[in-house]
Structure 1
Amino acid sequence: MSTRTSTCRICELLFILLWLSVSGQAGYPPASNPNTQLVNQILGYVNESVAACNDYYKYACGKWSEKHENDSFSEITGLIDHKVNENLIVLMDELQQRTLEPGSVEDKVLTSYQTCRQASESTRSSRTYLELVPPNEQIPWPQLKLRPDHWSSIKFQWMETLARLRRYGLTNVIFKLEVLPDLKNSSKYAVSIDRPYFEHKDQRLRGTLLTMLTLRMVGINSKKAWALARKVKLFESAVRELVEMEYEEKSEFYEELSLQQLEVQTGGQWRKYLEIVLGRNVPADYVLQVENSACLTALVHLVNGWNREVVATYIMLRFVAYVHKETMESDEPIECIQDVRRNMELATNLLYEQRFIGSEKLRQHQADILELFQLLRQQFLKKLDANSLQLLASELEMLRAKMLNMTINVGNMPNTADRTSFVKRFYADLHLAEDRNYALNHLRLLEFRTRRWFEQLDGALNATNFFFISDSETGMSSTPYYLLRQNIIIVPYGILQEPIFHHDAHDVFKVSLLGFMLSHELMHGFVSGGFIFDFRGNYNKLGKRIIMESEYSSGISCLNRNETDYLDEREADIAGIRLAYDVYFDPGSKFNLTQPSFTNLSLKQLFFLNLAQFFCGNTAPNDFADHDADELRLKQMLINFSAFAEAHGCREDLDNMHPAQKCRLW
């Protein structure tokens, strides 16, 4: 290299360093500065023709749909999931180019993915599932009989059939059986039995027409399908009427009953049921936690009085609906990788961590999340010390212990040095078929996950190596969530990426979005539905007393003026935004409060605008599950928070976003 060329190159480097230092963006070329990128993205969604004080959702999110009209996701969490899915598809392509050890975790994940991609349509049909899982070993489903005399109703025992299907995860049909942390000792698990629930659409059959069409898909002629559809709908109506009319008020607590006591009381074959589910002998004195036992007694008598073919058909239809809810509808890569995530979450978490995060970045992420969580914890403890709800000392002490003992798990992974070996052992007895039979492998995966969940009955909860065996929807989601009985917040790996999280972004971005998400989950331990459990996850009567305290009950009544079915979520939203805001802006804040040069917005305006991105989307109001619509959630949060009105100069009672009366809990 000549002296002239070398000197010029040095000059160029000096110029670049000088420019970066002057611009305040050292370490990033202009186009890749995370703060500039985040601000530009946020402002790209803003509809400036709408006044922020009139309708903040339409102001902050007005152009979201336009920007993402051709995308498959509908909101920011969907965007994050889409990024995770695209990464995992890259990983699947890489695995296909490698020679994998037979039976390894990578081999099983790839087999699951390839089965989804390559299986024939016939192996996905309802009929295939039903052929693989008959009601018992003696008879097929009535609709699959080869000749009229091939289905003997006397051989059909509905509890036996439900037990066989429970091994694949089906529950909440005629009754609900779960394995949950013991209500008195959350460090161990217990079998819980309750009446069925019908509140959500996936907890009941669809209309008669759609029920008839499902029967037609199984192979029944139209005339018989119509008649049978009407009968099974009548049966479900009878069950639902019994549950919701005669036993509308749920029992205050549960009873501890042995299998023998439950059988004598209800007339059901509970011991045989549980032995089929667990795959082993169960003693007659095995103790269960039973709710609504009188309702269960009435249900057993009701079902026993109905035509067995109708009962069998009803159970069959609920099973068909369940397995199709648990599957993706196509063999496209994005659908199939979601299928793998929902069925093999622990495995995909490990592979995602190894391929796309790495040990050094993971330690950095964990440190960042833990630091933010600790600051949120300290801020909430200050609120307890202030005691604006005028709680008793004993009540405050219970809440303080709960907050101090709350933990956080990044990635929903066990806290062990050798995660690879742990995950390999976890999946050691999962055996997938190589013949690309979708229903067969799907059933094996469902059975495996259910078995692992039921195995928690056999040992105490290991808090050190804890990870949550989640349901399908949670398994393929990157949204943080709080486990009430374990007092743990789970932060999936997927959320630790832009636009939610960037290690080098300004603090205002971190606290306003990820900080709010964490504070929302944290507050779930301190809302109406969370108070009744202490820091160990055990039932505590003090929690019920807190709910009845005058200051708290007044706050709840205020929050529910605009009535909601999701009051706990509203409480967590409204308390959560205040907690995140106070962590950032209160005196003594540990964060950077200097006005940044990359925006003309004040830090407080930027805080609210970035937070609003969590709620932007184009999802129809009726499509939200377990929450109010995002537009309503954002509005309720902001109209009840004076700091928002102050940041935007809203006029009290003159602007929609600044009513004089505001609701507050903490």
Structure 2
Amino acid sequence: MLSFVEGSKIPRASNDTTINDWILDFVERHMDKDANPCEEFYRYATAMEEKVWRYYETCLMASEATRSPKHYLELVSPDVNLTWPQFAHEKDKWLQVDFNWLRTLAHLRRYGMENFIIRMNVQPDAKDTNKFVVNLYMPDAEKFQEADNISDLLINIGVDSSQNKESVSLDEDGFTNEFYTLAELQNRTELQLQKYLKIVFGRSFNGSFKVEVQNIKYLEGLEEILHSYDKDVVVSYLMVKFVNFIMALDGSGPDGDSEKCLDAVRFQMEHASDLLYEDHYLGTKKLEEYTAEVQRIFEAIKQSFKNRIEKNHLNLSSVDVSALKEKLLAMTLTVGILPSKANHRRFVTDFYQGLELDSEPDFAKAQLEVLKLRTLRVLEQLDGAFSKNEGFFLLYDEISNNNPVPWFEVSGNTIVLVYEMLREPVLATEGQHDVFKMSLLGYLLTRKLMENFTPYFLPYDGNGNYGEVLRSFEDYPSYKEALACLNSTQTNNLAKRVIDVVSLGIAYDAYFGEGSQFDQKQPDFTEVPLKQLFLLSIAQWFLGDAKYLDYGAADTDEVRLGQAMRNLPNFGEIFNCPTSAVLNSTDNCQVW
């Protein structure tokens, strides 16, 4: 029989609905009606809930032994017919001759570990986001300019520091993105990348296949660097990095903590989790209401920014103004991570097709199967397995953490709002005053919208393709003057300050500006004036208590909040500030 995850039990019938109606509805919602019952009755009658439950239950019930680093390494070897040297019966007889670091890297990549030594992923082509490309580049945290990058770790795993040798210095100047055929790339780097891709993707690539390379000099120096170390040192390094990657994931700890196990399902089977959240928490009616309200807020924000573009404070050319408006009007908001135009249950069922989880409670084995399937789906995007015609959908190698913030995706020119944010205190369609909707969700969405209009993302057009029209926007004298004004009190992150200041002004105008469709009546639950309440509510995002805000590297919360408020023209009037007050500024900086 079907098992149910927590919170998905059949609800009690209302007065006008019989329990039979509820049961029938539940059964039908969990059927895969595209399957032929005469051929695939299990698929027809059983949905992916069973796989979700089995993964959760395995995480909860599996013994500590099945979560140990050693057990993961027993299940994932460095190569075919090759064990890790630490597991060899006689270490001096470990088959070094059979070890190839690039092949091992490829085997580990199949489980989603993509950010070290060589970072390889599948992503939309910047100049044509309707197709995907293979991208190779230097990882964020793996820069082999100095031996110290490896030596500390090697010492920690018991490798004699005398085995460390001087590494080759890599020149990072001349950073570029260029396409190379595999044949050209192998000739320049001496790296057997055709074999690497064959292992990762499970299929062959010919020498004429083109890949996008970022910083070719890094790849050119890798082989010499890694050959300067003994093979057992390099394989130990790879082993430790893989263990670190795995053990950082939810559920990989020493015991079956229910909250961590829920997070393991939520973030490692995120598409199934979205469907469960949609079906069993939101429901069709609430989802439609919330989606409509979110879109109403987003359209108001877009209109507020459009008004600023048309006023043209920066004295832009008519071509640039048109390009900015076109880019803005084409920008969309995607609610949830599943493709909006697809049948979600069918999509998710197909997504997890092939995932088989044993009934035995071995968590490492189950987690590796989930990660392998998830990575396979990411890589399948190269073949256009998921179409934009089904609605925006993009798979990421990186596994999310417990921080449900919206994000901006340039390739789709869209903001993705995760389902977890369709709940109090961010949004509640019944009884929530508009002042809180706009100050909480509205301000957060405005921040993401403005990321699209920072110099880094400006060259991308309304379809998410890199173009030339706005490529030199940051060279505009008026734009440079506006940034200099904001930086008169020097900041650690000017781009972040621009977003702080501009987003507050746009959200404020969207709510209080001319033509606003939002309720501006003074609420009866407080005597705090509405405009003060709006700003006080936004201020909570800067106080370090809100888990939804990703601060990143920036100034202190106090500095950020102060700069945002002092550059809002109405601030002094709203709080009846004396003219001498620090935040009652008469020389507000205006970027847009």
TM exceeds 0.5? yes
**SS of the residue 1:575 aligns to:** helix
Which residue of structure 1 aligns with residue 412 of structure 2? Answer: 486
Mean CA deviation greater in 267-276 or 547-556: 547-556
Kindly indicate whether residue 499 of structure 2 is the aligned counterpart of residue 580 of structure 1. no
Task: Assess, with a 3 A threshold, how the Cα gap between structure 1 residues 206 and 661 changes in structure 2: closer, same or farther.
Answer: farther
Contact 2:334 2:415 in 1 (8 A): yes
**Selected match of 1:600 from 527, 545, 564:** 527
Residue 118 to residue 658, structure 1, CA distance change in 2 (3 Å)? farther
Which of 294, 303, 312 is the matching residue for 2:217? 294
Find the partner of 2:117 among 142, 167, 174: 174
Which residue of the partner structure matches residue 138 of structure 2? 195
Partner residue, 2:468: 541
Offset of residue 211 of structure 1? 6.4
- SS of 2:117's partner is coil
- C-alpha distance 624-89 of structure 1, shift in aligned 2 (>3 A): farther
- Name the counterpart of 1:153: 96
2:49 maps to what in 1?
Answer: 106
Q: Which runs of 5+ in 1 are unaligned?
A: 1-86, 216-224
- Which structure shows the bigger proportion of residues in helix conformation? 1
Indicate yes or no: 2:269 matched with 1:344. yes
Distance (whole Å) between structure 1 residues aligned to residue 418 and residue 118 of structure 2: 32
**Shift of residue 653 of structure 1?**
5.4
Partner of 1:414: 339
The 1:397/1:265 distance shift into structure 2, 3 A limit, reads same
Q: Secondary structure of the equivalent of 2:471?
A: helix
Conservation of the 8 A alpha-carbon contact between 1:89 and 1:334: no
1:15 alignment partner in structure 2:
none
Letter in 2 for 1:309: D
1:105-164 alpha-carbon deviations (Å, 9 max, x no partner):
101111111111111111111111111111101321122212124412121111111111
Evaluate the alpha carbon distance shift between residue 556 and residue 309 of structure 1 in structure 2; reply closer, same or farther with a 3 A threshold: farther
Within the alignment, does 1:273 sit opposite 2:196 as a pair? Answer: yes
Aligned match for 1:305, one of 222, 228, 232: 228
The one of 513, 517, 539 equivalent to 1:612 is: 539
Give the 3 Å change call, closer, same or farther, for CA 637–411 of structure 1 in structure 2. Answer: same
Deviation at 1:598, TM superposition (A): 2.0
User: Are residues 361 and 538 of structure 1, via their aligned partners in 2, closer, same or farther at CA, if it must alter by over 3 Å?
Assistant: same
The answer (yes or no) to whether the contact 1:173–1:196 under 8 Å persists in 2 is: yes
Note the C-alpha offset of 1:505.
1.5
Alignment correspondent of 1:19: none
Match of 1:649 among 569, 573, 576: 576
Residue 405 and residue 293 in structure 1: after superposition, are their counterparts in 2 closer, same or farther (change >3 A)? same
Q: Equivalent residue for 2:239? A: 316
Counterpart residue identity of residue 610, structure 1: S
The AA in structure 2 aligned to 1:359 is T
Note if contact 2:378-2:397 (Cα within 8 Å) is conserved in structure 1: no
Aligned equivalents of 2:134, 2:521: Cα separation in 1: 54
CA separation of 1:476 and 1:205: change in aligned 2, threshold 3 A: farther
Q: 1:598 to 1:577 in 2, by over 3 A?
A: same
Provide the residue aligned with 1:331 in structure 2.
256
Matched, 1:401 2:326: yes
TM-score (norm 1): 0.77
Identity %: 33
Aligned in 2, Cα 1:149/1:417: closer, same or farther, shift over 3 Å? Answer: closer
Residue type matched to 1:569 in 2? K
Counterpart position of 1:367: 292
Larger displacement relative to structure 2 (310-319 or 626-635):
626-635
SS for the counterpart of 1:544 is coil
1:117 maps to 2:60: yes
User: In 2, Cα distance between the equivalents of 1:231 and 1:409?
Assistant: 54
Residue type of the alignment partner of 1:144: F
2:7 corresponds to which of 90, 93, 102 = 90
The 10-residue stretch of structure 1 (386-395 or 155-164) with the greater mean CA deviation from structure 2: 386-395
SS at match of 1:179: strand
The one-letter code sitting in structure 1 at the alignment partner of 2:263 is Q
Superposed displacement of residue 649, structure 1: 2.6
Unaligned segments of structure 2, at least 5 residues:
12-25, 31-41
Match of 2:83 in 1: 140
2:271 and 2:447 mapped to 1: Cα distance?
Answer: 25
Partner of 1:74: none
Determine the C-alpha separation between the residues in 2 that align with 1:586 and 1:119: 57
Q: What's the secondary structure of 2:208's corresponding residue?
A: coil
Q: Tell me the distance in 2 between the aligned counterparts of 1:299 and 1:652.
A: 61
Give 2:211's aligned amino acid. L
User: What residue is the counterpart of 1:76 in the other structure?
Assistant: none
SS in structure 1 at match of 2:122 = strand
Give the aligned partner of residue 39 of structure 2: none
Counterpart CA distance in 2 for 1:333 and 1:208 is 38
Task: Give CA-to-partner distance per residue, 1:279-313, whole Å, 9 cap, x none.
Answer: 00111100001111122101222222322111111
CA deviations over 1:353-390 (Å, ceiling 9, x no partner): 11111111111111111111111111111111111122
What letter is aligned with 2:72?
Answer: Y
Deviation at 1:412, TM superposition (A): 1.7
Superposed CA offset, 1:232-257 (max 9, x none): 9x67x947xx35xx21x351x31110
How far residue 632 of structure 1 moved from its aligned partner, in angstroms, is: 4.3
**CA 561–165 in structure 1, closer or farther in 2 if over 3 Å, else same:** farther
CA offsets 1:471-501 (integer angstroms, 9 cap, x no match): 5553654321111121111111111111111
Please list the CA deviations of residues 173-216 of structure 1 after superposition, one character each: whole Å capped at 9, or x if unmatched.
2221121111211111101111222299xxx9999777655x3x
Does the 8 Å contact 1:478/1:495 carry over to 2?
A: yes
CA distance in 1, matches of 2:562, 2:445: 20
Alpha-carbon distance between aligned partners in 1 of 2:488 and 2:69, rounded to the nearest angstrom: 46
Kindly report which structure 2 residues correspond to 1:499-510, keeping only aligned pairs within 5 A, or say none: 499-503=425-429, 504-510=431-437
- Determine if the alignment matches structure 1 residue 554 to structure 2 residue 481: yes
Equivalence for 2:74: 131
Query: What per-residue deviation string (whole Å, max 9, x for no partner) do you get for residues 418-440 of structure 1?
Result: 32122111111111222111111
CA distance in 2, matches of 1:544, 1:629: 31
User: Matched residues in 1 for 2:313 and 2:6: separation?
Assistant: 51
- Is 2:105 aligned against 1:162? yes
C-alpha separation between the residues in 2 aligned to 1:519 and 1:130? 45
CA distance in 2, matches of 1:633, 1:345: 33
Name which of structure 1's ranges 328-337 and 601-610 shifts more when overlaid on structure 2: 328-337
Which TM-score applies when normalising by structure 2? 0.86
CA distance in structure 1 between the partners assigned to 2:374 and 2:132 by the alignment: 16
**For 1:217-273, what per-residue CA distance to the aligned partner results, in whole angstroms no more than 9, with x for missing partners?**
xxxxxxxx1x44x479x67x947xx35xx21x351x311100000000111111111
Instruction: Answer 1 or 2: higher relative contact order, Cα 8 Å, separation at least 6.
Output: 1
2: distance between equivalents of 1:131 and 1:105?
28
Distance in 2 (alpha carbons) for counterparts of 1:91 and 1:635: 45
How far did residue 646 of structure 1 move?
2.8
Q: Letter of the aligned partner of 1:462 in structure 2?
A: K
> CA, structure 1 residues 188+492, in 2 after alignment: closer, same or farther (shift >3 Å)?
same
Match of residue 80 from structure 1: none
Deviation at 1:519, TM superposition (A): 0.8
Contact 1:179 1:191 in 2 (8 A): yes
Q: Distance in 1 between matches of 2:183 and 2:489?
A: 48
Give the conservation status (yes or no) of the 8 Å contact 1:532–1:544.
yes
Please report the RMSD computed on the Cα atoms of aligned residues, expressed in angstroms. 3.0
